[in-house]
Amino acid sequence: MGIIKKFRITTFKKEVHKIKLKKISLSFDKRQILDDISINIREGEICGLLGPNGVGKSSLFNIILGSLKPNYGNIFINGTDVTNLPIYKRAVDFGLSVIPQTSGVFGNLTCLENLKAISEIVIKNKNERSFKVEKMISKFELDAVKNTKARHLSGGQRKKCAIAMSLMSDPKIILMDEPFQGLDIMSTRDLQETIVNLQTEDIKRSCIISDHAARDLLAISDRAIILANKKVVAEGTPSELLNDQNARNVYFGDSFKIN
């Protein structure tokens, strides 16, 4: 899999930190999962969050979202300390949206019904609501399956439906948890393009995407962060990471290549 992005944001004219995690530690019962994690997510970047299964990627997303409270540390969004803010405040005040690892759609509703349901929550104006639903259906090429129940959609279509739902509120920060899981090669490619377009459409939008499939994720990331053994072991552009001996030792292995 080659590199999909035609350009990468390697230098930012003015580096704005959208999300700042400061000294985050997390334990479940007495088992420590995350130890002293400090990372910054920049405005407008696609940032990959890589790490083996069970390292704490989803937990970190839940900490950013507000559904999980760390034992120690602070979360800042746009410079505001949101550590004690509930999920809905973070979502509404800072445009935070999450596409969960499993599904993200209501299986018993059709694709159209899913989109309508969300639009009724996040868009007040009725005309604007139906306009946006139609726009999303056509943008994500869901026309042929709009009346299909979400549980009968293919993995790629279901992912697109979930992304379309999250875009209803015009989010400024999108967290995607393992979006490539279970997708075939063509659907992966298609989803990669969709994600890159999310950034092209709104250059201030930040996307954080977790996955353990390094190749698929690095192909679209401006920067990535590698978690291993409770810690951040490396961060940087894909090429910096591939040349990082520590990252190779603990995560990629010596034979890993991107092209």
Binding residues (CB under 5 A) for Mg ion: these are 57-58
Binding track, positions 9-48, relative to ligand ADP; x by CB under 6 A? -------------------x----x---------------
CA 169/CA 9 separation, integer angstroms: 25
Q: In the structure encoding, which two tokens stand for residue 62, read together?
A: 């839940």
Binding track, positions 57-96, relative to ligand ADP; x by CB under 6 A? xxx-------------------------------------
Asked if 56 touches ligand ADP (CB under 6 A), the answer is: yes
Q: How many residues bind ligand ADP (CB under 6 A)?
A: 10
Which is nearest to 178 in space by CA: 69, 72, 51? 51
Tell me the closest approach of the beta carbon of residue 126 to ligand ADP, in angstroms: 39
Nearer to Mg ion, 51 or 156 (CB): 51
Asked if 181 touches ligand ADP (CB under 6 A), the answer is: no
Asked if 196 touches ligand ADP (CB under 6 A), the answer is: no
241-251: buried (b, 16+ CB within 10 Å) or exposed (e) per residue? Answer: bbebeebbebb
Burial of 15 (0-12, 13-18, 19+ CB in 10 A): exposed
CB 215 within 8 A of CB 238: no
107 contacts which partner out of Mg ion, ligand ADP, none, CB within 5 to 8 A by kind? none
Asked if 51 touches ligand ADP (CB under 6 A), the answer is: yes
The two counts, helices (H) then strands (E), for the chain are 9, 10
CB 42 within 8 A of CB 96: no
Segment interacting with ligand ADP, rule: CB under 6 A, options 38-46, 54-62, 166-174, 231-239: 54-62
